[in-house]
Structure 1
Amino acid sequence: MYQDDHIGSEHSTATTNISHLCGLRISERPQKTRKTGVICTIGPACSDVETLRKMINTGMNIARLNFSHGSHEAHAATIKTIRKAAKDAPFPVAIALDTKGPEIRTGMFANNAKEVILENGKSIRVSTDPSMEFSATAFNIYADYKNLPKVVTPGSRIYIDDGLISLIVDSCEENAVVCTIENGGALGTRKGVNLPGTVVDLPAVTSKDIEDLLFGVEQGIDIIFASFIRNGEGIQKIRQVGKHIYIIAKIESEDGVINADEIIEASDGVMVARGDLGIEIPPEKVFLAQKMLIAKCNLAGKPVICATQMLESMISKPRPTRAECSDVANAVLDGVDCVMLSGETAKGDYPVEALAIMHNICKEAESAFFHMKHFEELILHTKKPTGMTHTTAIAAVSATITCRAVAIILITTTGRTARLCSRYRPPVPIITVSRDEQISRQLHLHRGIFPVYYPKGRIEEWDVDVEERVQYGVNLGKTRGFIHPGDPLIVITGWKQGAGFTNTMRIVTAS
């Protein structure tokens, strides 16, 4: 298929976006390395050590645990299994806890029925009475939000099960809402409920979330995916519990989109959670929200994740649809740091295959990314003057483009310089070398970073210790196949020992 050995368009010579696009060729090899992080949801389909090892070797960077389901005991066992599978991996693997959040769900059915059929045009009562939680029927279902009758009005729509079922409110009672079934179908137990256009007064963080967060801290979780964040206040409450954990705000409501600026400022990053978002706002508007949120995060230097239904058909089929492939690729071209698989890996028939296809799509899309234009636009929006470390990061990214370096080797204590380099989207991998295991794992959230945990103790001569770590990073690049003897490299280090002194950039040749 490939006609030459040119590695994508990492160093495109085009001067405009349209000329860059005109120069793309399907015969061109994609770049050797994938810079976009891949997050995989862990579930019954992939919770054994052997499958997890295959997924790590295929390119899983972050393992996501969905705390809407499962007990703490079950999650503790899964965490143990993930760490066992990752023990001999060539890179650290991060673990993320996805909170249940202040969501609304239906109840269980009478006589232990698995589902009921809701018929179009029929009347149905949605009760908030706790006595109905385990005795719902096709005409009287339960929702676990006691203020439902107070926040909806006649004409409001209630969506259930990702919008597959829709009800129109006719009237409100003290502890129930009477509706007409607009779009019916089979309704299972514990399905999500959405109230688009309705202001709800649910707490930003529930008591269950607090319990789960404390459990996550105890287990050494690296990242929190905070569900249904509507404003910056919700992030601040979560940070009180998980101070040293990355907090990623899941934006999945109209309020969240409107308050994006304050959420981005308060959080460590954002997830564009398109499932609930596509119910809360018109589905034809989701792409606008996605592009806007990604751009805002790029400008702020915060990682952004695109999630939900990316390769949905692969839950049951061995190949994705063409539209799904384009969806993943366009998210990468929009500027995401990570993409996420949900049911595809958690419950699908082809978890490893879905990951492999995601990996390949990302590589192809990254090869079509116009790095120079993106870099120039980010520089235009960077407030001047920049600090010492910030200036060094910009200079390093500029140098990779000018001298056509194959990698950036970065020695880091806190990860700050690495995050700044990633912000400017260099066209080459950023190999970070750190003695902090958790920081190494958390850096997977940032595009282009290949984190390396350095396990050796400190050498008394600081400059010798630095060179040992630099060579450790170079050796990893050689092992991974993207650094060869004679290749130009950018090396970033500090000028003295400790955090906050990174201001030295060198251009060297790999030996």
Structure 2
Amino acid sequence: MMSGCCNHTGKPVICATQMLEGMELRSSRAKGSLETNAVLAGAGCTMLSQETAKGNDPLEAVCMQHLTAQEAHTAIYHLQLFEELCLLAPITSNSTEAASVGVARYPVPPSPLSPPPKPPDGLYQGIFPMVCKDPVQQAWTEEVDLHVNLAKNICKAPDFFKMGCVVIVLTRWHPSSGFTNTMCVMTALELLSSPLPVPFPQPIH
């Protein structure tokens, strides 16, 4: 109920109800069910707090939690959800389509071109924050290319997306916020095989 209310209002929801209290190498069926039910209920983040101080295998337990959450997310029947939302949005300009995109939780690797917002992006389901350790480039176009290429390397991870997926790259033509007006649409295969840097249209002044 609380997860549904948070999702309805667009707030991040974190479930930290002693997911893997035993911190064992392989969790029991009951503890695995807690993790699975939290994901299916709409929790964008599951957290371990005091559990990490227990047991002999804290790192392996966290990895098992990640695998359990990843497997539970694949059990969500997105096709039926999309079909139901499409019936409510016969016109493309309807705001319901934007809501359907938000419900789908497509993976997004944000690039930190500006200070991190509050709350952090990592609290939202489907957001994979990146850390750029390269020095800041003097030219803005070079800085954009640097972060886009960093996102490309993140997307090369196995099972991040399928080769037939469509990828949308958003960026801005000015360092300040509020100037996001550049969009590049390409397939996943084109993105991963395109030469560096990814070509973007020049802004119109």
- The aligned counterpart of 2:69 is 362
Where 1:432 maps in the other structure, the secondary structure is: coil
- The aligned counterpart of 1:431 is 109
2:11 alignment partner AA:
K
Whether the 8 Å contact between 2:105 and 2:125 is mirrored in structure 1 is no
1:369 alignment partner AA:
I
Identity of aligned residues (%): 39
- The aligned counterpart of 1:457 is 136
| Alpha-carbon separation, structure 2, partners of 1:497 and 1:299 | 32
- 1:342 and 2:20 equivalent? no
2:167 alignment partner AA:
L
Question: How many residues are treated as equivalent by the alignment?
Answer: 181
Computed over aligned residues only, the root mean square deviation of the Cα atoms, in angstroms, reads 3.4
Whether the 8 Å contact between 2:136 and 2:143 is mirrored in structure 1 is no
| Alpha-carbon separation, structure 1, partners of 2:167 and 2:60 | 34
- The aligned counterpart of 2:196 is none
| Alpha-carbon separation, structure 1, partners of 2:9 and 2:119 | 21
**Gapped regions of structure 2 (runs ≥ 5):** 194-205
Whether the 8 Å contact between 1:440 and 1:451 is mirrored in structure 2 is no
Change in 2 beyond 3 A, CA 1:504/1:334: farther
Aligned pair partner of 1:324 in 31, 43, 52:
31
Whether the 8 Å contact between 1:344 and 1:354 is mirrored in structure 2 is no
Where 1:467 maps in the other structure, the secondary structure is: helix
Where 2:171 maps in the other structure, the secondary structure is: strand
- The aligned counterpart of 1:467 is 145
- CA shift at 1:385, angstroms? 7.9
- The aligned counterpart of 2:170 is 492
Whether the 8 Å contact between 2:111 and 2:130 is mirrored in structure 1 is yes
Cα deviations by residue, 1:266-305 (Å, 9 ceiling, x for unpaired):
xxxxxxxxxxxxxxxxxxxxxxxxxx11111111111101
- The aligned counterpart of 2:9 is 300
Output the TM-score relative to the length of structure 1. 0.31
| Alpha-carbon separation, structure 2, partners of 1:378 and 1:320 | 36
More strand by share: 1
Whether the 8 Å contact between 1:474 and 1:483 is mirrored in structure 2 is no
2:110 alignment partner AA:
T
| Alpha-carbon separation, structure 2, partners of 1:485 and 1:373 | 22
Whether the 8 Å contact between 2:173 and 2:179 is mirrored in structure 1 is yes
Whether the 8 Å contact between 1:344 and 1:350 is mirrored in structure 2 is no
Whether the 8 Å contact between 2:3 and 2:42 is mirrored in structure 1 is yes
| Alpha-carbon separation, structure 2, partners of 1:293 and 1:370 | 21
- The aligned counterpart of 1:156 is none
| Alpha-carbon separation, structure 2, partners of 1:366 and 1:489 | 20
Change in 2 beyond 3 A, CA 1:378/1:335: farther
Aligned pair partner of 2:121 in 443, 447, 452:
443
Change in 2 beyond 3 A, CA 1:372/1:487: closer
- CA shift at 1:485, angstroms? 8.2
| Alpha-carbon separation, structure 2, partners of 1:378 and 1:487 | 20
Matches within 5 A, 1:238-317: 292-312=1-21, 314-315=22-23, 317=24
1:306 alignment partner AA:
C
Cα deviations by residue, 1:186-243 (Å, 9 ceiling, x for unpaired):
xxxxxxxxxxxxxxxxxxxxxxxxxxxxxxxxxxxxxxxxxxxxxxxxxxxxxxxxxx
Matches within 5 A, 1:16-415: 292-312=1-21, 314-315=22-23, 317-374=24-81, 394=98, 398=101
1:359 alignment partner AA:
H
| Alpha-carbon separation, structure 1, partners of 2:111 and 2:42 | 24
| Alpha-carbon separation, structure 1, partners of 2:165 and 2:94 | 33
- CA shift at 1:497, angstroms? 4.0
**Gapped regions of structure 1 (runs ≥ 5):** 1-291, 399-422
Output the TM-score relative to the length of structure 2. 0.71
Whether the 8 Å contact between 1:294 and 1:304 is mirrored in structure 2 is yes
Whose Rg is larger? 1
- CA shift at 1:438, angstroms? 4.1
Change in 2 beyond 3 A, CA 1:437/1:374: farther
Cα deviations by residue, 1:85-133 (Å, 9 ceiling, x for unpaired):
xxxxxxxxxxxxxxxxxxxxxxxxxxxxxxxxxxxxxxxxxxxxxxxxx
Cα deviations by residue, 1:63-89 (Å, 9 ceiling, x for unpaired):
xxxxxxxxxxxxxxxxxxxxxxxxxxx
| Alpha-carbon separation, structure 1, partners of 2:179 and 2:143 | 16
- CA shift at 1:436, angstroms? 4.1
